[in-house]
Structure 1
């Protein structure tokens, strides 16, 4: 009989990973507290409350069997499509896009929820494709059917950042499922050839301007390039160890826009310097490594593909945001997971973490048999 006073349901949780998640959430609270000039409002306290609530949801999800996610994938897909349609009809506009549903107690962005939903749908589909047919056309065209409706509805909002992340995630999942490399090379060449058409006919004027500013931010440092220019200044001015907590000038003097959402890393790097930025990146690396290990340890094909896709979802959030604030990618409005202020992205990441914990729990249960 165990002498531990800790319930088995609590002690069995992957605490090494949870401590990493808690550290990232704590970094977000500190960064938002400083961005508000040393105040818990309007960002730090709501962020902390939301973080703990969504972490609780992740722990609840970890108690489900992965088979439940498999069985409910298409039902969740249908619900996500309904929410996207409602968003176009009744949603509120923010940042030039009609992407949010105002629910009173929370402002929900349904396009964010489609990221883990599509991961489950693709994982379920490829889990049932026989290995001998994985290179056939029948393993490709259904993906277009799955992706078409949500991508069309997201384009109509429009939300370029979410659309790009969903496409990246889906292509990578198709590769992990075993589709031949020549398809991705050919597809990449086709997209490259179509870039001028995409730029001229699919991108809105403000999106075209983001691309141009990414290529040459100095062309309009006080206009369209202002966000990126100030972000680089904030990161660079932090030096090795930063200016000190609550001593950031770019954020406190309101030079750095969106320091509580898209550019929170820039504000943190200014105050904590290269050392603080590297620590934050290491924490993210450890989180992604844990998710990758969960995928590698999984024995069932659905669980392995789902774990890989959920980990990729978190990874692309991290990579795109960090590249964006450092001037290595266009500004597309992707927040930094668990650190940036905002509910929908945090909810999505916590759902991914919760399902990863469920898959990890199932794998450990099977090992004990």
Structure 2
């Protein structure tokens, strides 16, 4: 690169550094009043019938206009206006705009009179009243725009804070779910291992391995909000194998995963409360069937968790393990799949005849997850 090119690049870099060191308000002021000065220059050229005189007056007046606008901003701040345009705020805008216009016209008159900068074909009244009305409209428009921008930025900040607070709360609940394991499940699983050790050490070892796999998934990924479907189903399978060892022939489980769905991303522990609910509240009078189906449908995932039994009436407290209830599942779906999910919990009529020659209703929790999940971080 030539020395001239290096010099230009360096100058551009220094300008950008200088520009971004200026507060945002003053950057906006420079741009807005810079554009306005061009319009003002064109207007004055017509009124004064002299471009040189119009340019001179513009160079004198535009810094004054910026200073008055900054004073208006400070006045609104001292009055405690937060951006909402109430009747009182609107009245103050008109009053302060009129006062600002009077100040600017007075200053301009004090400069114009000694310099002899008279406006051709205008009398003394026109030289005062026309600029007075003009600048009052300018300052009123600037004030209304300032209130609108301030209200918009304030609303955006509030929404961002609310979204961050919700995300933090959901992450805390997710960590609580992983760290505060169901004590009854853990106690019963360990007790089952202890009972199997004397007579069936191989079965006890297998049950202990499944429990370890489930705990590893629960604890190792505390900070990981999104995992693969394969990893999620592996943890579900380990959990269900432990439950099968506990309940024996009273519990039959199956997980069907579409190979195309296995590498897809899914929110970690999104399915766990639903599967636990199916085991806990399913009908084990003869035996309980729990089936998990995960299929890919284009870019979407369809998940069905089915158990034999009937749907608990609303308000009975089902699906509340460690505070992660149905409402939380829905809120996590809203966070990770905003506007891109469908969730239903329904009871279906009796299915095919079971092994004990009975027909039983089934409860189906179904999720349709569209696209990739947001990390929520």
TM-score range normalised by the length of the shorter chain: under 0.3
Q: Which has the larger radius of gyration?
A: 2
Give the TM-score taking structure 1 as reference length.
0.23
Structure with larger RCO (C-alpha < 8 A, sep 6+):
1
